[in-house]
Amino acid sequence: MTSTGTVLDEIISGVREDLESRRTRIPEPAIRELARAAAPARDARAALAGDGTTMGLIAEVKRASPSKGALAEIPEPAELAAIYADSGASALSVLTEQRRFRGSLADLDAVRERVEAPVLRKDFVVDPYQVLEARAHGADLVLLIVAALEDEPLRELHDLVTELGMSALVEAHTDEELDRALSLGADLIGVNARDLKTLEVDLSRAVELLHRIPAGPLAIGESAVAGVADVEAYAAAGADAVLVGEALVTSGDPAGSVAAFRQVARRGRPAPEGAQA
């Protein structure tokens, strides 16, 4: 972290610069028209819920990260996505942020064309234009990071995602952020073990937050998954699914890793302390 702000602040600054460049090339009325003309979004909640017995898995196409740097070249993102899908992934995540994660909308296009599973546009979404872009490029889910948004824009973006027929994965890292996600009525709540402001990881903190999510929304554990034991820890805390990137792209056996993670039994969320049986 530098003196200019948190890591998250710096990433968002770059995201806004890149966004303005794309907005110049394709004005908002044009991208809105493309979004409206796109094929209907797939049902991401149904895919992640599955039959309720084993963990859902969002498998990520991820070349790099701010915390680890380069992870994998991935010259053909569609090929990797197809391996994920064929191995049982519930949904695919495609990073489209280009400066820190080396992703692009072209990656999203390639994956969308290749697989039938729901696809998440994973980026730092701070403007309605990015939601319209996501739909225009075939995304079924959009990540909304509570830490990156004030209440009003968060609700506006969530409403636009819903209006376009997509699902919002609303991500929290703290109690206050989780409260905001719950008050939004989010259908999919991601609990990130990584603090995006410092890049520090604390799986135990994520586990604590998962215990607070009531029945209704699906809960997705994010970050800190290195192997099956970590997926089991998320399952024990009540996660319905996990989002995994680094462990898959660096494993040397993405198909085997996907299959192993998908075999972890779902436990259901424990009742809050003090609740009556």
Query: Does 67 qualify as catalytic in the annotation?
Result: no
Query: Does 60 qualify as catalytic in the annotation?
Result: yes
Q: Which of 65, 90, 192, 257 is catalytic?
A: 192
Q: Which of 167, 222, 246, 257 is catalytic?
A: 222
Q: Which of 97, 133, 171, 246 is catalytic?
A: 171
Q: Which of 62, 87, 93, 246 is catalytic?
A: 62
Query: Does 246 qualify as catalytic in the annotation?
Result: no
Q: Which of 122, 133, 167, 177 is catalytic?
A: 122
Q: Which of 60, 97, 133, 246 is catalytic?
A: 60
Query: Does 171 qualify as catalytic in the annotation?
Result: yes
The span from the CA of 160 to the CA of 158, in Å, is 5
Query: Does 87 qualify as catalytic in the annotation?
Result: no
Q: Which of 65, 93, 167, 223 is catalytic?
A: 223
Q: Give the catalytic positions in this structure.
A: 60, 62, 122, 171, 192, 222-223
